[in-house]
Amino acid sequence: MDNPQEKVFKILNALNIEYQIINHPAVFTVEDMVKLNITQYGDVCKNLFLSDANGERHFLVVLDKDKKADIKSIQKQLGCTRLSFVSEERLFKYLHLQKGEVTPLGIINDPDAFVEVVLDNDLAGKNKLGFHPNDNTATVWISFDALKKVIEQNGNMIHFVTI
């Protein structure tokens, strides 16, 4: 089995996506990334893994690091029941990620495209978005269009919301 980063780079390369990688000590929050000055290279994103009240739908919400997610507003825009954060067990079950590693690139570990990806409209057109490559000891920089391409190639549903 490839290590988590290699799996990401294999897919990025297969899709002819340009990317840059920065290796760094493990980070668990946006604040950790700011302390290491990683945010100087581009737009770092916050990623939230949520499910509806019945646990039937799972959402990976991606927004700029400086925004605060209004969960009720997101829920209303998605037209679903009450949203809440998902357990670490479910995070691993669906995306094979640990707490602190949540990234939209985790959908490559979701072969059934079960997880719905929710992108903040303000990310559209950005050239340098930073995400963990399924491992929080690195940040990979790709464009918004490249991120969309990876998600679409995996078959996950994409929703655009205003956060």
DSSP codes, 104-153: GGGGGG-TT--EEEEEEGGGTT-S-EEE-SSSTTEEEEE-HHHHHHHHHH
The dihedral through the CA atoms of 124, 128, 132, 134 has a sign that is positive
Q: pTM higher than 0.75 for the full model?
A: yes
Give the model's pLDDT for residue 36. Answer: 93
Banded pLDDT at 3 (limits 50, 70, 90): confident
Percent pLDDT > 70 in the chain is 99
Give the model's pLDDT for residue 2. Answer: 66
- The mean per-residue pLDDT over the stretch 71-83 comes to 96
Residue 99 has pLDDT above 60, yes or no: yes
Of the candidates 82, 79, 100, 105, the residue with the CA atom closest to the CA atom of residue 161? 79
Residue 159, strand partner residues: 118
Residue 24, strand partner residues: none
Of the candidates 115, 104, 128, the residue with the CA atom closest to the CA atom of residue 8? 104
Give the model's pLDDT for residue 125. Answer: 96
CATH no. for residue 102? 3.90.960.10
Domain that holds residue 89: 4-161
Number of domains in the chain: 1
| Tokens 């691993």, located at residue | 92
Round to whole Å and give the CA distance between 84 and 74.
11
- The mean per-residue pLDDT over the stretch 104-116 comes to 97
- The mean per-residue pLDDT over the stretch 75-92 comes to 95
Taking only the tens place, the pLDDT of each residue in 28-44 is 988 999 999 999 999 99
Round to whole Å and give the CA distance between 34 and 39.
6
Round to whole Å and give the CA distance between 135 and 109.
13
- The mean per-residue pLDDT over the stretch 101-120 comes to 97
Give the model's pLDDT for residue 127. Answer: 96
